[in-house]
Structure 1
Amino acid sequence: MSSVDLLGTGVPGLDCILFGGLPKRGIYLATGEPGTGKTTLGLQFCLRASTQKQTAMFLTISQDARDLERIAASH
């Protein structure tokens, strides 16, 4: 079995379910109904990356910068 470098999601419980995180250098899409935590997951992922001196990108088609700042501040 080959070793895969993993990247934590920033959500400890999710990382546990994923056996350590997501494979590095992947592209991941979160989908679901409004209020299911997609934005929170994306923001947690980016926050975790920034604390590890890594790069992450958060793309959204439904929220502007003000909305993201408001959501991030509420967490």
Structure 2
Amino acid sequence: ARDFARRGGGVVAILHDLNLTAMYADRIFVLRNGELAADGSPAEVLNDELIEKVFDCRLKVGVLPAGSVPFVLPQSSA
């Protein structure tokens, strides 16, 4: 899929694993109740506010030490 995209093709994948999505996607769309809640790069979209809004729970979104890839680790935000 990545080679196809590099050659100009479009790739659409539906994933429910936010961490896997953040690792491989250039652009993500996040839906809430069937409606678009966010659209952009993983670094732009995956944040504490969005996670709380979409999943109705307070979580912290971190960043991998090696760069700017966000990750979601389910735990209390306190």
- The answer to whether TM tops 0.5 is no
Q: With CA pairs under 8 Å and 6+ residues apart, which has the higher RCO, 1 or 2?
A: 1
Greater fraction helix: 1
TM-score when scaled to structure 2?
0.31
